[in-house]
Amino acid sequence: MALIEELNKLGVNTNEALQRFSGNSALYERMIGKFPAAAQGLEVLKFLEEGDYATALENAHTLKGVTGNLSLTPLYKGYTEIVNLLRANDPEKAKETLLELIPVQVNIIECIEKN
Amino acid sequence: MEKATILIVDDMEINRVLLANGFGDDYNIMEAENGEQAVKILDSGEKISAVLLDMMMPVMSGIDVLQHMNKNNSIKRIPVFIITAAEGEDILMAAYELGAVDVISKPFMMQFLKCRIGNVIELYRHRNDLEALVEEKANRLEIINKSMVEALANIIEFRDCESGEHVKRISGLTKILMTEISGMYSEYYLTTDEIEKVSTASILHDVGKIAIPDNILNKPGRLTKEEFEFMKLHTVKGCEILSNIPNIIDEDIYNYCYDICRHHHERWDGRGYPDGISGDDISIWAQVVAVVDVYDALISPRVYKSAYDHEVAVKMIYNGECGTFNPKVLKAFDKAIGKTGCFD
């Protein structure tokens, strides 16, 4: 239960997520365990810096979906904003938002990897 | 009832597992990591009851999958739900236009999602079952129709004791000759369905013989002029009989029956009966039944004559001894039935 409690402290809405997983907490934790690799693989920042905004948008969009389904609420909110900014052709602001979001994401990933 | 199968298509394992977990108790689950895998599963003959489809995927996107399902028409049978983290409006509009039934946003509430998808699966299952039922009933109706026609024809056979299997042979020969004509002469616009119906309708060409008295119908010798005039009425009498029973025969077949019944003794030069019409004023099916009717009468024994050999019968037809026929019909007849090669 340590993971769930710590995630709650970081603003993750585990209650909502558990409902989505029909109360199967073992499965939820297993899927949470897959998030760090997924997030690192998608490298939104790298594509933003390279100016490949289409791929950055695609990947931010994917992360929005995944963080939403896992109820990683702070990250979901951040990626939603990044997707909106990229759609509105504002990559600079999107990058700023991402740079603010990264420490939050690092905290959550560290928490997941520790448990 | 057998469990329905849901195909989950998403490149992110986390999303697939979440959906599989939610639906796994009530449905069989199949998973695809991208559009290409999804299309393979859909084309494999696997019975899929619904597709939960992500839009942005490598290899083949959700839109590509929808386009594929439109090409092979499976979109009409299988409901597709777009599962999305809010795509641009243009993509969602394209998905709807390609037949997606609903768009579901991530993150979703699993309980609602199960209800929405479950309802649509049930609706489609019901609709697909109904379509199958209608098709089965239509087939059954066609069989009954054909049986009605055959039953009527059987009655004539009982009266006209010499013709025996004649009507069945006429139906078979009509089909052969009609098929040959449709291949040789596109101007007659004959379809397989039409040929089938004409072949069934030809069985009733002599239904009017029921109205001809025994002493004329089964007279061993040559008919007197008056008797022959009476015999000729079987064409008109047949139409009278048919017009009293229009509803027991399929409307299309009825029209062919009526036409064939009335005009299978007309001739190309206008010297036939009862109306004396000529050329292509006589329908092609009536022309076809006319020639195969003559052929079958020649090669069969009758109370007033013995059977002719095939070669003799064919020669008599070509020489105009049984009236004049459309040269195109004779050419097709020779290719399919006569086989003398004299028209090549």
- DSSP bridge partners of B8: B31, B52
Closest by Cα among B64, B23, B17, B31 to A66: B17
Domain with CATH 1.10.3210.10 in chain B: 160-338
Contact B109 A19 (CB under 8 A): yes
Q: Sketch out chain A's domains with CATH numbers.
A: 2-114 (1.20.120)
B183-202 residue pLDDT tens: 999 999 999 999 999 999 99
Residue B146 makes CB contacts below 8 A (sequence gap 6+) with B200
Would residue B189 be called left, alpha or beta, if left means φ above 0 and alpha means ψ between -120 and 50 degrees?
left
Write out the two tokens for A16. 């909502």
| pTM above threshold 0.90 | no
Q: Which residue of A has its CA nearest to B109?
A: A20
The listed CATH number (3.40.50.2300, 3.40.50.300, 1.10.357.10, 3.40.50.450) that belongs to domain B5-132: 3.40.50.2300
* Cα–Cα dist B29/B7, whole Å: 6
| C-alpha Rg value of chain A to the nearest Å | 14
Contact B56 A61 (CB under 8 A): yes
Write out the two tokens for B119. 């309802």
Give the H or E element holding residue B149: helix B110-159
Q: Which amino acid is at A75?
A: L
B297-344 residue pLDDT tens: 999 888 778 899 999 999 999 999 999 999 999 999 999 999 988 887
Weakest mean pLDDT among A28-37, B170-179, B297-306: B297-306
- B51 CA: distance to closest CA in chain A (Å): 18
Tokens 């897959």, residue?
Answer: A34
Q: What is the mean predicted confidence (pLDDT) over B114-122?
A: 93
CATH for B160-338? 1.10.3210.10
Residue B260 makes CB contacts below 8 A (sequence gap 6+) with B198, B201, B202, B204, B205, B283, B285, B286, B289
Q: Is the ipTM of this complex over 0.90?
A: no
Task: Give the count of beta carbons closer than 10 Å to the beta carbon of residue A81.
Answer: 18
B4-21 residue pLDDT tens: 999 999 999 999 999 999
Domain with CATH 3.40.50.2300 in chain B: 5-132
Q: Which chain B residues touch A if contact means CB-CB below 8 Å?
A: 11-15, 17-18, 21-22, 54, 56, 84-88, 106-111
A64-102 residue pLDDT tens: 999 999 999 999 999 999 999 999 999 999 999 999 999
Identify the pLDDT of residue A3: 86
Tokens 């299978």, residue?
Answer: B264
Closest by Cα among B224, B227, B287 to B259: B287
Write out the two tokens for B285. 């099916």
Residues of B in contact with A30 (CB under 8 A): 17
